[in-house]
Amino acid sequence: MLTTALSFILVLGILIFIHELGHFLVAKKVGIRVEKFSLGFPPNIFSKTVGETTYCIGMIPLGGFVKMVGENPEENPTGAPYEFMSKTVGQRAAVIIAGPFMNYLLAIVLMIGIIFFGGRAIYDETRVIVGEVPKDKPAYGAGLRTDDQIIAVNGEPLLTFDSVRSRINKIVNDSLTLTWVRGTDTLSARILTEGAPIPNEQGGVDSIGVIGFAQKAISYEQYGFFESVKRGFVSTHIIVRETVFFVKRVLTGEVSAKMMGGPLFIAKQSGEEARKGAASLFFFMALLSVNLAVLNVLPIPILDGGHLVFLAIEKIKGSPLSVKARAIAQQVGLVVLLSLIVFVTYNDILRVFRGW
């Protein structure tokens, strides 16, 4: 529980900080006065004013904000040069896009680091060599250990990890016969599989059989810095592409919206990835960072994408939207956002009860 809580705070805190830092740095760069930089939402557990900006840490770690002078037309801007609305459309757009862009950059940096320091695992494609075997899993109880070589499931010879996994996955809450080699000995045991829940695209839950073991890497291929940078960029853009594709499929109804996760899912997954190791946690963070960037540029009023739409309209018509029009749009956006939060939280609660 402690690992889960700390991992959740670390992951979400870094993602939010980087996002808001993007808005903050570009706002300062173009000469906008920033009144408040908040990590988390009130009530505050920390607050300190330095220069013209008050820096805060809120007790609710589900977001953050940068409050700029004159950013809301309803505040009746004075026209001072340091106000948000006094800047050009291009400068204001740069301030808004900087948040998602920083999340995108963070994902790239994380992926480069994972590849540079961790390298790429190389597996034997002709043999199934057992890696980690958790002590609380059926495989361990049956006697399977690290470095054993699995050769058959239910008497069927299998030569690859994927074929072994696929065969076991089809046997749910039922027994199977596993055969493996240790040194010069051939061993065999009956093992009762566990049913592991796995979400499907229709929003339901399927179940697959597992016995609990991982494949062992025979070596690791290390990459130099420039090759790691190249691979980091490629890996990040694959994540971006898949994230955009997933959002598109949700919006068109091809995939159930129940596949989306909220704060509880992030907290649970953060803890699980942290227990696997730093590389797994950083990869999860990169994945979330891309998700945050993509979701923030959706054209929903109150999100960064919605503000970009306002600026595009202003650029086309030559003047800002009326205060009334912006207020209505933002109220609609707030309803949409709150509905989404309630929906994903409901999904999270269902996941807790269903055990996945």
- Fill in the amino acid letter for 249: R
Active-site position among 20, 71, 83, 273: 20
Q: How many helices (H) and strands (E) does the chain have?
A: 9, 11
| Pairing mode of beta strands 120-122, 194-199 | unpaired
Burial code (b: 16+ CB inside 10 Å, e: under 16) for 339-351 equals eeeeebeebbeeb
Residue among 208, 140, 198 at smallest CA distance from 174:
208
Residues 6+ apart with CB under 8 A from 91: 30
| Upper half-sphere CA count for residue 339 (Cβ side, 13 Å) | 8
Q: Residue 55 is inside which H or E element, if any?
A: strand 53-68
Residues 6+ apart with CB under 8 A from 310: 301, 320, 321, 326, 329
| Cα 224–Cα 229–Cα 230 angle in degrees, nearest 5 | 100
Question: Which pair of tokens denotes residue 273?
Answer: 């990835």
20 is catalytic: yes
**Residue 164 near residue 207, CB atoms below 8 Å:** no
Instruction: Annotate 234-303 with DSSP letters as a single string.
Output: HHHHHHHHHHHHHHHHHHTTSS-GGG---HHHHHHHHHHHHHH-HHHHHHHHHHHHHHHHHHHTSS-TTS
Write the burial class of residue 304 (CB in 10 Å: 0-12 exposed, 13-18 middle, 19+ buried).
buried
| Count of CB atoms situated within 10 Å of the CB of 191 | 23
Q: How far is CA 185 from CA 149, 176, 179, 181, 313, in A?
A: 11, 20, 11, 6, 74
| Count of CB atoms situated within 10 Å of the CB of 273 | 20
Catalytic residues, which ones? 20
